[in-house]
Chains A and B, each alone.
Chain A
Amino acid sequence: MSKYTEDDLREELETKEYEYGFYTDIESETFAKGLNEDVVRAISKKKNEPKWMTDWRLEAFRVWSKMEEPEWANVSYKKPEFQEIAYYSAPKQKPKLNSIDEVDPDLLATFEKLGISLEEQKRLANVAVDIVIDSVSVATTFKKTLGEKGIIFMPISEAIQEHPELVKKYLGTVVPTSDNFYAALNSAVFSDGSFCYIPKGVRCPMELSTYFRINEGGTGQFERTLVVADKGSFVSYLEGCTAPSRDENQLHAAVVELIALDDAEIKYSTVQNWYPGNSEGKGGVYNFVTKRGLCETNAKISWTQVETGSAITWKYPSCILKGNNSVGEFYSIAVTNNYQQADTGTKMIHLGKNTKSTIISKGISAGKSQNSYRGLVQINSRAENARNFSQCDSLLMGNKCGAHTFPYIEVKNKTAQVEHEATTSKIGEEQLFYCNQRGIDTEKAIALIVNGFSKEVLNKLPMEFAVEAQKLLEISLEGSVG
């Protein structure tokens, strides 16, 4: 009789190696390591930026120089040596491509390995893909269709050249350069990212999608994303990530700013699968991300995230509910395995009247990992009739992992209604035996149980992303059973 105790299960989970552990040798240009004002100027010059942009970066750098790394998160790691990082890496020839055939074949092969072949993506219904490889976009599709609706979707470096008035108006308005250590660093050195603008009253006809990867070893990745939905518009934005296997830790500090003007709606979905480090906890990406959205009157922002990767995750997609009747939502699945550490959650800042927020967080911990939910619900004094509902569920596998919940609730208006629910459960022997007895093997049973646990959040993802996310959940948790 084959045995499969909880200890076996844990052990098998720990031996799971990263699926996408490969490195593509694409010629790239990298700056010398280290950071100072000259490096910031050089990045800006490299990108041929206007003076206001250079000044903005320098201001951010000066603020950053005086800041300390935050230490309040429930994670422990060796701090990155910031002078040992190269702050710019770009594929050597930046091609201006008219068709996919002109893309570097090695690069295309990489995408094939990831199962996101561009060829396929292009044909896939309604997904426009803007790919960021080592900080510089190399291919943009569906630009024309979007152009007809007046939608701008391009690398932010191009947007700075072509739509400086829009970028200047909104960049840093939701996440100021001085917001936090990593946001300041990003502001100083970001090399690229995406910019998206949806004009008044336009409903974006397709899901906008970006795949990020980290490629060059030892290179920090600092993307900057800015999404502006003008009055009465709607956009659904997908962000997916995966990275090659590396020995040294890779720093990733992105900033995403969303602006939903009156009556606009932004749906922002992320599937994150950065390299989590090996089963001894060596290597892996450090992911320090600042994501925040601003809602004007009657506007709505929904964050949905599926986090399965990174050695360290520090990420709190948040909503500032400034306008009356605005709505913020946060749906999250965070999976940690082996030695991964995640401290993730959200902030819902209620400023306007009748503002509403919903938080659904699902944490799944396996191996020796630590999984923390940290969330702030703040109801300010003028936010009459604000409503919040929070639900934080944790699922544990094995008995060496940890799940933690840190809810912060600040209410300054007595008309507020704030609800918080939390549960912790464990995949039990009894559940596994029950599934086994019905002919379902243990690996499939775990996938079934985990998907059931995560269902409320998976349901929030756009269809094509939901399938990918389910697959990722299975990959991150499956052991090579049997």
Chain B
Amino acid sequence: MLKIENLKASVDNKSILKGLNLEVNAGEVHAIMGPNGAGKSTLANIIAGKEEYEVDHGTIELNGEDISELAPEERAHIGVFLSFQYPVEIPGVSVTNFIKTAINENRKAKGLEEMPAKNMLKMIREKSELLEIDRKFLSRSLNEGFSGGEKKRNEIFQMAMLEPKLAILDETDSGLDIDALRIVANGVNKLKSKDNAVIVITHYQRLLDYIVPDFVHVLHDGKIVKTGDASLALELEAKGYDWIKEEMIS
């Protein structure tokens, strides 16, 4: 589904990704771990198409199509979803209005009619149940005055509504208490299918207790330096990152 080859990228002329390779197939869950400053969030933003991130070299392909020149909304239309580490507030725009607009804009891009209100309502009901979101929450202004947990839950709710092909969860576990973590992880697990893929970006093993990855990659200094299965995350949790750096030197 996603194929990144020898990707070099920079922001403000500062080189961040230095030849990154990653292949994610449908039905897989990949975790990307690594110390602060390794380039994890850059990777997420560059896949989503944030403009200040410059692709200097390499390719990003989604289902065989090079997406590195597409606008962020065009990437969204073909199924890229980013759960933001810090979701922004949009005062006066309700969660419902926002998701309705997003769904209909995506449909418009595909040449489809707007989703009938009845179907939309049914979908909202289903997905909000899945994430234990109550009706009142949906009428609140997007992310305004939301707790950390509410923000992240809302991100996953949007993901559930938009049904992306490739979902990138950028530190979705940060700011979550254990109950919220369980709800969010449970939501992600239920949305998983053989047709979509998930990339989980995290510092900690904690989230991976709930969302079990097929692959764990360690990102260090702009490159993936080690890949393993779920046990690698446990090893990292126990030993930290230094041993990987040492391994690299030797």
Using a CB–CB distance below 8 Å, which chain A residues touch chain B?
1-5, 425, 428-431, 433-442, 444, 448-449, 451-456
Contacts and interface: CB of A to CB of B under 8 A. Distances in A.
A438 to B, nearest CB: 4
Contact of B101 (A429, A437, A440): A440
B77 A449 contact: no
Nearest to B54: A1
A454 B90 CA distance: 12
Interface stretch (B13-21, B91-99, B186-194, B230-238): B91-99
A433 B162 contact: no
B84 A439 contact: no
Given A438-B76, A438-B162, A453-B92, A1 B71 contact: yes
6 contacts: A3-B51, A434-B84, A435-B90, A436-B49, A439-B77, A439-B106
Contact of A448 (B72, B77, B101, B106): B101
Contacts of A452: 90-93, 97, 141
B242 to A, nearest CB: 34
A437 B82 contact: yes
B51 A440 contact: no
Nearest to B77: A439
B107 to A, nearest CB: 9
Interface in B47-96: 48-51, 55, 68-73, 75-77, 80-82, 84, 87-88, 90-93
Contacts of A454: 92
B22 interface: no
Given A1-B51, A451-B93, A439 B88 contact: no
A430 B90 contact: no
Given A1-B70, A433-B50, A433-B51, A439 B102 contact: yes
B interface, how many residues as a size bin? 20 to 34
A434 B98 CA distance: 11
B109 interface: yes
Contacts of B80: 437
A387 B53 CA distance: 52
A459 to B, nearest CB: 10
B196 interface: no
B237 to A, nearest CB: 30
A436 B102 CA distance: 9
B77 A434 contact: no
B51 A439 contact: no
Given A439-B77, A444-B101, A449 B93 contact: yes
A153 to B, nearest CB: 35
A454 B48 CA distance: 30
Contacts of B70: 1
Nearest to A438: B102
A2 B90 contact: no
A430 B82 CA distance: 13
**Interface of chain B, helix or strand or loop or mixed?**
mixed
A1 B69 contact: yes
Given A448-B98, A452-B141, A436 B90 contact: no
A455 B144 CA distance: 15
Leading 8 A-B pairs by shortest Cβ distance:
A452-B92, A452-B93, A439-B76, A436-B72, A438-B102, A455-B92, A439-B106, A2-B71
Contacts of B81: 437
B158 interface: yes
B105 interface: yes
B90 A431 contact: yes
A2 B51 CA distance: 8
B69 to A, nearest CB: 5
B51 to A, nearest CB: 5
Given A438-B76, A438-B162, A452-B141, A430 B88 contact: yes
Interface-central residue, B55, B70, B101, by most chain A CB under 10 Å:
B101
Contacts of B106: 439
B76 A437 contact: yes
A246 B170 CA distance: 53
B71 A436 contact: yes
A436 to B, nearest CB: 4
B51 A437 contact: no
A425 B89 CA distance: 11
A439 B162 contact: yes
Interface-central residue, A435, A437, A439, by most chain B CB under 10 Å:
A439
Contacts of A455: 92
Contacts of A431: 88, 90
Interface in B111-139: none
Contacts of B82: 437
A439 B55 CA distance: 21
Interface-central residue, A1, A429, A434, A456, by most chain B CB under 10 Å:
A1
